[in-house]
Structures are given as C-alpha cells and as structure tokens.
Structure 1
Amino acid sequence: MTTTTAPVTTTPPPTTTPSTSTSGGTTNTNTLAGLDSLTSNFTTFLTLLTTQLQNQDPTAPLDSNQFTQQLVQMTGVEQQLNTNSLLQQLVNNTSGGVSTAVSLIGKQVKATSDTANLTGGQAQWTYNLPAGVADLKVQVVDANGTIVNSVAPTDMGSGDHAFSWNGKNLAGSQLPDGGTYTLKVTATDSGGNTLATTNYQSGVVTGVTQSNGSTFLTINGSQVPWSNIVSINQVASTTTTPPTSSASGS
C-alpha cells in the first residue's frame, strides 16, 4: 500500500515595495528591514519547497512551473529593495557626501573629535570647558589605552582652549609619526563633581574621503566625520605689501 503525503502549500511574499520617506534615515531603515524580512521569507520558502519535493506523490508530481514563478517573484522583490538601497546611497553622496564636502577643501572648520594623528611631531586639539572648573587634567592616550602625556593646565576658564602635543611620551622620547592618539580631559568643580567637556579638531580641510557610505574630512592629518562639523570659516587671505624702494638721481 502506498502512503501519500499531502503537499505543502507555499505562498510567496507580496510583491510590494517597502514604503519610503523623504528622510534618508527612514528610507534606509525601511530598506534594511525589507531585506531582513526577505532573507527570512526566502529561507522559509526554500524549506517548504524542499519539504514538498521530499513528500510529493511520485505518481502525481507537483507542477515545477509553480516553483519557478515563486522564485521569480522572490527575486523581483530582492532586486527592488537593492535598487532602493543604491538610489538612497546616490542621494546621500550627492546631498551631503563627497560632492558637497569637496567645497570645504581649503576652508577652516571645527569638528567634534577626541582623536588626532601625530604628524610632523605634532598633534593638536581644542577642548571646551564649562564654567566652575576647579581642577583640570589633560592626558594623551595611545591606541592601546596607555597614557603617553599628562599635564595640569592652570588656565581653567570657561570656553575653548588650544592644546598642542609635541609627540614626546612621559619618558621624553619622541614617538613616530602616524599614530592615532586620544585626548582625555578630566574637569571637576570645587565639590569634586565631574564636569562635561568637549574636544574638537580645528584646522584647514586638506582632503575628502569616503568609506562605507560615510564622508570624512582630513584635518591636521586626521580623518573627521562630515557629520561632526560644528563651524565653517573662510581662511583669511594674507596680503603682503612689496617693499618700497627709493632711488636717488644725480
């Protein structure tokens, strides 16, 4: 006696495009959610398809055209989601990416950043202090978390303070260029409470790069995200007056 197992019915996912918004963040979220859902549905579909093939009646096999149609529908949704993702990336690159950031080359900018590269034996930061600082400690930390320099500035007034490190460690040895270092500012009030501080990179933009869909500006040899910029200024041009020469006639 032959045992026949009822075939499993599969329902392909609806061929609708995820809703989009004029906001880039919302569109990205919808696209990523759609791709995740598609991956899950496709895995489930393949599982059901395999189960159908294993349990179909040999005397009445299922129509292969149905499987092909479902695969085509699944592929169509995947291609639509990928197209939305590529279009969004193109919009980001055009509106707030490389094309816009290139215009900042040669301009003075200020951007939030705790890190800086040691270039030419120098690393520079600007830190901002709130009012009421009673004790201040500024440390330079390397990529391994080791403190390579530590100072206790006496100027603890509120506002921006420039800090330049000469690249020498606590032992007085000059460290090689190319390393990335972090500025750690610890400020407390008279009661010993920690106060919030902010570190910046200030300088002229010398280059623009893009990595993984994000745009970075080169400032003082360091890479700073485009989104971290807080101010942009035109570099003041310096004019030199040629020396005046006098000639005496006979």
Structure 2
Amino acid sequence: MVDAVTTTTNNATDRIAAGSGMLASNFETFLALLTSQLKNQDPLSPVDSNQFTAQLTQMAGVEQQLLTNELLKSLVSTQAGGDLAGAATYIGKEATAAWSATKMAGGEASWSYELGANAASATLQVLDGSGNVVWSGDAPAKTTGMHDFTWDGEATTGNDGQDGQVYTLKIVARNATGGAVDAQVLTRGRITGVEMYEGEAFLTVGNSIVPLSTVIALEEARAPSEDLAA
C-alpha cells in the first residue's frame, strides 16, 4: 500500500513539474508574441479590441494554471512532510515488523520468529549481505507462537559475522509428516527513530531499519519497573 502511494506521489510530482515547465515556456512565448504584435501593429489598423481582450484572457488563464501547479507541488510536498510527522508519533513504542534483516552489533545479531503450529523440525539460516548462508542450525524452540533467537556471529560456513554488517534470517519448519508449517521471521524492539527514503517512512527498531509498511503490531513501551516485574 505504501509503495503504491509513494509511486503515485512521485509520478504526480514529476507530471506537475513537467507541466509547469511546458506552461512556463508557452507563457513566455505568448508574452513575446503579444508584445511584438502590439509594437508592430499598423497605427491605421490597430488590433481589434475584442481580439486583444481574448488574448489577455488566454494569458491570464496560463498564468492561473502556473499558480495552480505551484500549489499542487506545495500540497504534494506537505503530504510527504505529513507522512514523516505521522511516523514520528511511533517513536518510543514497541514494534513488531515482518522484517528479517538486522545489523550485527556487539558481536551479536538478534531476531524473533513465529510458528503457526508445533513443528517436528525447524531450521534457521543466517545469510550475509550477498545471500550466502554463514550459519545454519536447529531453531531453539519449535512450539506454536513467537520465539527469540540470537546469533553469536560464529559461522558454520564462510566467514564469522562482523559488527556493522547486515544479516538476514530464514526459517523452514515442518510437521511430523513433512508438511510445511507456517513460519515467519520478525524484528521486534523499541522504535527510536524515523527517516524518509524515496517517499517512504522507515523506522529504527533496535539494530534494524524497517519500512513502516512492514509493521504488524505496536504497543506502548513498558516502564523499567514493569520489565522487572515481568
């Protein structure tokens, strides 16, 4: 949905800009021709007043169209700013996003995963930025619901993880008969920042930057005392 709105907004801005350029060029040409016509008119046969009025009306119409296009550009720009302001209201909340990429920090990379049913087997894979599997192993929990997983950066194939690099988690879960179990990788954490990229709002959640469109749940952040009680 956000992608469609972003594309539509960008296309509208481009069309408005192109139209404004064409109208401005035509407006300047129109003024030059009208001025030349007035300068070179025959004193014994001046421009018909009705024709002159019609030309002035056309010129006013072009000028009005230019002003309208500038207003539309302003409205489009204001909408983009409103998207950022709206996303900023999420700062401080706890978010859950259907997003599998995160940055390693402090020698660790963390994700959550959710299973739609109990699984007989569940395999996790950590992929580097090039799509290569650098770690593979059993999921720590295979019961229905949401679970957390932290990779310590130690590779089973290829190079060990490095701080600052982005890694992606994948999960494959199966039931006792070998059928696929619904599963998804999630990013969970407190929203600490918002930024706009190509017209779309992105949220900083822990060590991940996730598109607002991937957020599937929001909760009020718990106070430290509540965390201790839990």
TM-score normalized by the length of structure 1 = 0.62
In angstroms, what is the RMSD of aligned CA positions?
A: 4.0
1:66-123 per-residue CA deviation (whole Å, 9 max, x = no partner) reads xxx99x98998687557535413422431xx322332333322111101111112111
Match of 1:91 among 79, 91, 97: 79
State yes or no: 1:146 paired with 2:132.
yes
- Over residues 109-148 of structure 1, what are the superposed CA-to-partner deviations in whole Å (9 max), with x where a residue is unaligned? 1111011111121111111111153321110001111111
- Report matched runs for 1:99-114 at 5 Å: 99-114=85-100
Instruction: Give the letter aligned to residue 186 of structure 1.
Output: V
Distance, in Å, in 2 between the alignment partners of 1:173 and 1:25 is 38
Query: Unpaired runs of 5+ in structure 1?
Result: 1-23, 43-62, 241-250
Residue 123 of structure 1 aligns with an amino acid whose one-letter code is A
Aligned residues: 196
2:189 counterpart SS class: strand
Alignment correspondent of 2:143 = 157
Percent identical: 27
- Which segments of 5 or more consecutive residues in structure 2 lack a partner in the other structure? 23-31, 35-54
1:31 Cα shift? 2.7
Indicate the SS of the match to 2:76. helix
Matched, 1:209 2:226: no
Q: Secondary structure at the match of 1:194?
A: coil
Q: Aligned partners of 1:182 and 1:75: how far apart in 2?
A: 54
Determine the C-alpha separation between the residues in 2 that align with 1:104 and 1:148. 34
Quote the offset at 1:177 in angstroms. 0.8
Greater helix percent: which structure?
2
Q: How far 1:194 moved relative to its partner? A: 3.0
Q: Secondary structure at the match of 1:113?
A: coil
What letter is aligned with 2:222?
A
CA distance 1:180–1:83, change in 2 (3 Å): farther
Tell me: CA distance 1:74–1:157, structure 2 relative to 1, closer, same or farther (3 Å): farther
Corresponding residue for residue 12 of structure 1: none
Q: SS at 1:195's partner residue?
A: coil
CA distance in 2, matches of 1:105, 1:182: 24
Residue 57 of structure 1 corresponds to none
Change over 3 Å in CA distance of 1:90–1:236 after alignment to 2: same
